[in-house]
Every structure is written in structure tokens, then in C-alpha cells.
Amino acid sequence: MVASIAEIVVNAPLLRSFHYSVPGDLGTDLRRGHRVLVPFGHRTATGVCVGFPAESEVPELKPIKSILHPECRFDEHLLELTRWISSYYRVSWGEILEAALPPAIRSGKAKERKLREVIALGSPGELLEEAGRIERRAAAQARILRKLAEDGPGDRVIERSRLLKEARARAASLDRQKEQGWLEEKTRVKRLDPYESETANLPPRQEPVLNPAQAAAVEALESSLDSAEFKTWLLYGVSGSGKTEVYLRALRRVLDKGGRGLVLVPEIALTPQTVLRFKQALPGRQVAILHSMLSPNERTSQWRNIQEGKADLIIGARSAIFAPIPDLGLIVVDEEHEPSYKQDTSPRYHARDVAVMRGKLLDVNVILGSATPSLESLHNAREGKYGLLELPERATTHGLPRVYVVQLDGSFYRSDGSGLISRELDRMVRKELERGAQSILYLNRRGFTNNIQCSECGYVLSCDECDVSLTYHRGDNLLRCHYCDLKEMVPSSCPDCRSKQLRHSGVGTEKVVAEISRRFPDARVLRLDRDTVRNHRLLRQALGAFSRGEYDILVGTQMVAKGHDFPGVNLVGILLADTGLHFPDFRAAERTWQLVTQVVGRAGRGDERGLAIIQTFSPDHYAIESAAKGEAEEFFRRELEYRRTLGYPPFGRLVKILLSGKVEEKVREEAARIGEILRQAASADGSGGARDSGDLSELKKTWAGALASRPRILGPAPAPLNRLQGKFRIQILIKSPTSAVNQRLLERVEDRLKPRRGVDLSIDVDPQSML
């Protein structure tokens, strides 16, 4: 029976679907999961068909205009997964489905290169015999046949343009041989492989021998994979413990049984190294890559290969969780603790948690790997919700790096940069240079200086749109805002008092490179941050050059902090470990511990034990002290005690509601109104379970339990970054013991949360940043 009504979710910020009539010419073609074009208000919008209701309450339905690229239909699994995301994260189902597609497909501008190929229809002997027979009267045609014969055994397929060039022949000669029946032409789509040149001639890999901890982890995973049931594993291994080898063995098990694998990495910077290692370890397997630094055509090619089942293994960043993978058998989330797995703009979702749900829906295993696991994942593992696999020692024989802590003083911020490198770090860098070893210096700040201030009146050059100072980039001689990307010329005098006394303060990677070059003029220094690496080719070139030993010192931001394996690096220096330690965010200590531990872990991955020097103003803070001493359990104990006391994750669940707008008074009024709505709803939540049983003590216990399960509403209060991109920001925090409590509250009040014109509202479930 042909459906006459379709349920469509539209690419708009709405938590509901709409009914449309199905025109007769589309009735036999339209299926669930098809992307369609529909009239929506006074415009045309894209949407996805999610069902076919028997009837509708709307008397006159608008008709669907057309089906968009029917070959890109969402399957039932992805529809179910994205529907869960919409419900849990309170985001539009239509927006999630739209975000699941590559940009070029969404925009309709996807272009794929088509190749014309020539296929020989005779054996090499037959081709050579015919070439000899016609050579005197048709030399060009004979050269074509010889070239096809020389192409070797097999299908003898060659690109048409290449064949004509190498045979020094014209198209007419080719056409003549087609007429004679010696060859035929076919057109196929040329799928782009962004890593083709690097992976074309990889040397065979020597299979490493697993240590006992690795072998035990692999055995547990293989047993679980063979059972074909859903299970989430936390693979907790110190840096350099061989987690990647465990991933590889598990993936090989899945691939050998006809399944496919998905590996998520948090940083695009990790993709090149991961691709090379996995391709080398899995010869003959097709690997697809998905991340935002690929060109639109490259991304489309990779996505179509995945959809058509031509890729065995998919490696990608956050959005790869939506890849349309048939027969998916295992999901790996590497560096699962990384906040970059959380999308910070609409539609907001956490790729790690979506990966767990995808595994659950498909009944497959999910591996979450980290040397510094998030407290949420660690808690889930220790409570038995996840399986726990531990790799407590490095795969090498020499163990973790030796770590020294250097306390900083005010000289660190000398305007000439001479205080950036302590005596201890200077001595060790010099020693490494003398013996030909490599070093990494880490500072999580871009630019040359963080701000410029007038020495006369104290005026700070700030962004007109954001409540942040402008960062000076000496290479471009520009001031830039790292939040809205505003760019300004550097003024010659103070904009406020016209004084010429402008003082540069703060530090960034540019300044570090300048100081390193001054101290070590013969050193080959490479800088790696988002200002120097703006596409995946530049990134691969930079990482490849450092891996080959073409540079002595690598200076970088978070791009160098995690996952990289550089055997030539013996020394790591953390120039300022305090960068995010005192942020107004309950995760500040956890992030600092993770980052310091990860950076330290880059040292000593070759034949020698490494060395790390941590420069800090806060050597006694438990996050830095635990990271320096390698006492992870002490950090977990103290941080979990703090979280339990205040009801923060993993002992509670949060929702952040952010209101923003250009008129501050409007934002404040709306925040107050919405805060009151939430407070009234929260006061009613959980109170319905108390009944008069005649026992006063029992009644008190019941009411205490009801109060403990109620959500708490904190705020409204100005966001720590009070103004961004020209908008004032006020936030409200909902804190509850479980996510179910938060969901009930939001469902009850959602219709009343719509702000008035001029004010934007966003809901962030399980927020990763409080800023």
C-alpha cells in the first residue's frame, strides 16, 4: 500500500515532527530515512522522513516537494540512534540528522571525479599477436595493444588518458580497437584517498609480543567479541603501555569474522599517525578517514566508500560516530576523557556517550581507552557498569619518565621572554641537543603575548565583541580574538589616552619559539598550533618531518599533548602547568591532571627512559603533585571526595541553560523568568511520593528521600565569559542526582522556556565546560 502521509523532522531547532502529504509521483519511492525538501512556513527546508502515519489531525497537508539524493538514505539503526540523541540531549532530531551528513552532501555540492578506463578483452599473448599483425599499417593501434598487454596479469585495466599518453596515440586509434573487439571502455567514480601517497608502500610490520597485561586484556576482549553481546570496556593504561596494540588485536578479530570497526580519535592531529599504524598492522584492509580538515570532495568520497561497504575500518574525529557503517562489530574511543568529544554548538552531543549507546543498540563491544580516564568512566568501571582492563606498566622495559617540578616566580613573565625557560629546563634542553635527541616544549597558549596594556592609564586592548583581551600575533603583526576571530592592526598609541607606552604581557607559543631560537640559535625548531597548521596536509607534513628527525625541538599547544608516539623524544618540558588550573570550572583540576600526565607521557617512548620538567606556580596543588609523582589513585581519591560532597558528576548530573543576547537587560529579565519557572517545577519534583502512614519517622525518611531526589536550580548568574561575539551571557545550572530527574524536569517545562525575541537559549545536557 502506498503511503499518503509522511512524518518529517525538519532541519530547524524544534523538538517535534510535522506531517506532509506524499505526492503520487513520490509514493512508490519514498522510504523512512530519505532526506526530502518540504515547504516550511514561508521558506523551503530540508528534512528526513521518519514514518508514515495512517492519519493526521491537520486537515490540509502541504505536499513534499522532492526526495534529495535517494542513495543517501539513513538506515533504521541511525534513525534510532539519532532519535535517542534528540531525546536525551534535548536537541532537534532534524538538526542531528543534518549534522550526520558530510557538508558537501548537505549542500548538494558534492562532486566526485569520474575516470574513463580501458579494459583489455584478450589475453596478453593475444594482444601482442594482434599488435604484431597490424603494426605496419596501424602503429598507434599496435602500441595501444602492447601497452595493455604489458600492464601485467589480471584485469589489465588502465586509465584512458594515461593509455593514450604512454602509447602516443589519438582517440581515433582507441576507438578503432574498440570496434575490432579488443578492448572496451567503462566510466567509474574515482574515490579520493587523502593518505594514499603516505600509505602506498608501507613496510611490513613486525608483530610485537604482548606483555602479560596486554595479553590478558586481549583475551578478555576476544571472549567478549565472540559472545556477540553488548559490553563497554574501559581500557585504562599508562602512557606507552600499548593500548593501541590491544585495539588492533580486537579489531583484527572483528574484521576476520566479517565485521567492521570504528575508531574515534579526539584530535585531528592524531589521525595521520593512527591511520599509518592501523594500515600497516592490517594489510589488505580498506581504511576510511573522516574529519573536518579533509576537503569537501575527499570527505564525500570517504563517506560514500563507508556507506557502500568498501571500508573495513573507519578512523575519524567526533562526527565519525554517525558514519553509515554496515556490519559494525566494534567501536573504539581513544583518549575517551577528551572534552573535544563534546560538540559545543548545536546540536550538542557527546560522541563518547553516543558511541556507548550505538554499541548498545547494535549489541557490539565498545572500548574506551585512556591513560587518564574521565572520572565518569572510571566510576562506571569501578561500579561494574563497564568492564575494566588495566595496563599498569609501559610496554618498554625502562618505565615511565623521571619527573622534576620547578616552582616559577615573577620572572617567568618578563616582557623579553627571558624567564620562560628555567635554569633546569635550559640545562636539559642543551644536553639533549648536544647528544642529538629531540625535545617537546608545551604551552597551551597561542600567539606571542596574551595582552597589550597601556602603562599610563592601564587600558587593555580588548575585543569589542567579547570580554577577553586581544592576543598579539607577531608573525602577522595583528591582534586577534581567539573566540570570535576578530583581527585588528596593532595601534601605535593607547586608544584611550594616546600614550605611546604600550606594554606587552603574557606568553604564547610564538614567544616561546623566539626565546628558544635566541638561546639555541643552531636548533631546528618546529611550532605546532592552529595558527601554523590549518589543513590536514600541513599537519601531516609537520608531524612527519618531526618524526623523521628533521627538527630538534617541537613547541606546541594541545595538538602535541596526547596520543603522539615520537621515539626520538627523550625530554618534555611543560612551560606553565597552571594555565587552566584556576578556571571557574569544577573540572579544572581534572583537566590539569590529565593534561600534565599526557604531556609527560610523550617522553621516553624509544630506547631510553624519558625525562619531564614541569614548571608551575602551584607545585603543591594535588592535581600537579599527583601528575608529577604518578600517583593517579591519590588524585582520584581527592577529586572524587570533592565531587561527592558537592554533588558533581559522577555523583550527580548537570544541565546548563545559557541565555544570550545583545541587550543585557533583556537577557537578565528572561534569565530571571526562566529561572523562576525551573525553580517552581523543581520544587514540585519528587514530592509526590510522601504519604501519611501514621509513622512520623517513616514520613520524615520519605520526605528526605524526595528532597534528595529533587533537582537544584543554581542561578541565574553571569557566565564566566560574560560576553562573547557581541552577546551578553547568563547561565542557569540544573543539578540532579540522575539524568532521569533532569529529563523529567525539562520535559515538563520545555514549552515555557522559549525566550522572547532578541534572546537566544541553549540547553547543554552533561556540559563539559562551565565557561
Residue 601's H or E segment, with its range, is none
The whole model's pTM is what?
0.88
**How far, in Å, CA of 98 to CA of 12, rounded?**
10
Residue 32 pLDDT more than 50? yes
Write down the pLDDT at residue 196: 66
Given pLDDT bands bounded at 50, 70 and 90, which one contains residue 704? Answer: very low
Quickly count: other Cβ atoms within 10 Å of residue 286's Cβ.
16
Quickly count: other Cβ atoms within 10 Å of residue 230's Cβ.
16
- CA angle (169 as vertex; 165, 173 as ends), nearest 5: 135
Percent of the chain with pLDDT over 70: 94
Residue pLDDT, tens place only, 377-392: 999 999 999 999 999 9
Residue 48 pLDDT more than 90? yes
Write down the pLDDT at residue 556: 92
Structure-model confidence comparison of residues 272 and 248, the more confident one: 248
* DSSP letters spanning 137-180: T-HHHHHHHHHHHHT-SSS-EEEHHHHHHHTT--HHHHHHHHHT
Q: Beta partners for 117? A: 159, 186
Residue 198 — left, alpha, or beta (φ > 0 → left; ψ -120 to 50 → alpha)?
A: alpha
Write down the pLDDT at residue 702: 47
Residue pLDDT, tens place only, 49-88: 999 999 999 989 999 999 998 888 999 999 999 999 999 9
Residue pLDDT, tens place only, 577-592: 999 999 999 999 999 9
Structure-model confidence comparison of residues 43 and 206, the more confident one: 43
CA terminus-to-terminus distance, the chain: 53
Residue 423 pLDDT more than 90? yes
- 3-state DSSP assignment of residue 757: coil
* Residues of the chain by 3-state class (helix, strand, coil), percent to 5: 35, 25, 40
Give the C-alpha distances (Å, rounded to integers) separating 152 from 117, 135, 144, 731. 16, 21, 14, 68
Task: Tell me the backbone φ, ψ of residue 263, rounded to 5 degrees.
Answer: -120, 120
Residue 564 pLDDT more than 80? no
How does DSSP classify residue 63?
A: B
Residue 706 pLDDT more than 60? no
Residue pLDDT, tens place only, 315-350: 999 999 999 999 999 999 999 999 999 998 999 999
Write down the pLDDT at residue 526: 95
275, 230, 221: which is closest to 251 by C-alpha?
221
* DSSP letters spanning 512-567: HHHHHHHH-TTS-EEEESTTT--SHHHHHHHHHHHHTT--SEEEESGGGTSS---T
Quickly count: other Cβ atoms within 10 Å of residue 640's Cβ.
17
In single-letter form, the type of residue at position 715 comes to G
For residues 496 and 456, is the Cβ–Cβ distance under 8 A?
no
Write down the pLDDT at residue 149: 86
Structure-model confidence comparison of residues 222 and 397, the more confident one: 222
Q: Beta partners for 347? A: none
For residues 449 and 508, is the Cβ–Cβ distance under 8 A?
yes
Residue pLDDT, tens place only, 142-169: 999 998 888 654 456 788 888 899 889 9
**How far, in Å, CA of 50 to CA of 31, rounded?**
8
Write down the pLDDT at residue 690: 37
**Averaged confidence pLDDT in the chain:** 90
Residue 693 pLDDT more than 60? no
In this structure, which long-range contacts are made by residues 173-181, counting pairs with CB atoms below 8 Å and at least 24 apart in sequence? 173/138, 173/140, 173/141, 173/144, 174/118, 174/144, 176/138, 176/141, 177/141, 177/144, 177/145, 181/121
Write down the pLDDT at residue 703: 43
Sheet holding 653-661, edge to edge: 712-724, 727-736, 653-661, 760-765
Given pLDDT bands bounded at 50, 70 and 90, which one contains residue 267? Answer: confident
Write down the pLDDT at residue 192: 66
Q: What's the maximum distance between 2 C-alpha atoms anywhere in the chain?
A: 114
Instruction: Provide CB contacts within 8 A for 683, sequence distance 6+.
Output: 710
Given pLDDT bands bounded at 50, 70 and 90, which one contains residue 228? Answer: confident
Give the C-alpha distances (Å, rounded to integers) separating 336 from 99, 289, 376, 633. 22, 19, 11, 18
Write down the pLDDT at residue 247: 97
Q: Which of 31-45, 503-517, 676-690, 746-760 has the lowest mean pLDDT?
A: 676-690
Structure-model confidence comparison of residues 585 and 703, the more confident one: 585
Given pLDDT bands bounded at 50, 70 and 90, which one contains residue 675? Answer: very high
Compute the average pLDDT of residues 169-181.
90
Write down the pLDDT at residue 109: 78
CA atoms within 13 A on the CB side of 481: 19
For residues 148 and 118, is the Cβ–Cβ distance under 8 A?
yes
CA dihedral of residues 593, 594, 596, 601 (deg, nearest 10): 130
In terms of DSSP bridges, do strands 231-237 and 365-370 run parallel, antiparallel, or are they unpaired?
Answer: parallel
Residue 688 pLDDT more than 80? no
**How far, in Å, CA of 304 to CA of 310, rounded?**
9
**How far, in Å, CA of 513 to CA of 525, rounded?**
7
Write down the pLDDT at residue 691: 38
Instruction: Provide CB contacts within 8 A for 292, sequence distance 6+.
Output: 268, 317, 319
770, 302, 729, 431: which is closest to 580 by C-alpha?
770
**Burial track 124-133 (b if 16+ CB lie within 10 A, e otherwise):** beebbebbee
**How far, in Å, CA of 361 to CA of 261, rounded?**
15
Residue 193 pLDDT more than 80? no
Q: Indicate the angle between helix axes 739-749 and 664-684, nearest 10 degrees.
A: 120
**What does the block give as the cell for 159?**
586509465
For residues 120 and 198, is the Cβ–Cβ distance under 8 A?
no
Write down the pLDDT at residue 689: 35
Structure-model confidence comparison of residues 653 and 72, the more confident one: 653
Q: Where are the beta strands (DSSP E) in 166-230?
A: 183-190
Classify the C-alpha dihedral 693-695-700-705 as positive or negative.
negative
Residue pLDDT, tens place only, 594-628: 999 999 999 988 888 899 999 999 999 999 999 99
**How far, in Å, CA of 484 to CA of 612, rounded?**
35
Compute the average pLDDT of residues 261-276.
83
**What does the block give as the cell for 681?**
517545577
Name, of 34-43, 141-150, 277-286, the range with top average pLDDT: 34-43
In this structure, which long-range contacts are made by residues 717-723, counting pairs with CB atoms below 8 Å and at least 24 apart in sequence? 719/658, 719/771, 720/583, 720/584, 720/585, 720/770, 720/771, 721/466, 721/467, 721/468, 721/483, 721/771, 722/467, 723/465, 723/466, 723/467
Percent of the chain with pLDDT over 90: 64
**What does the block give as the cell for 252?**
583484527
For residues 528 and 556, is the Cβ–Cβ distance under 8 A?
yes
Write down the pLDDT at residue 269: 64
- 3-state DSSP assignment of residue 675: helix
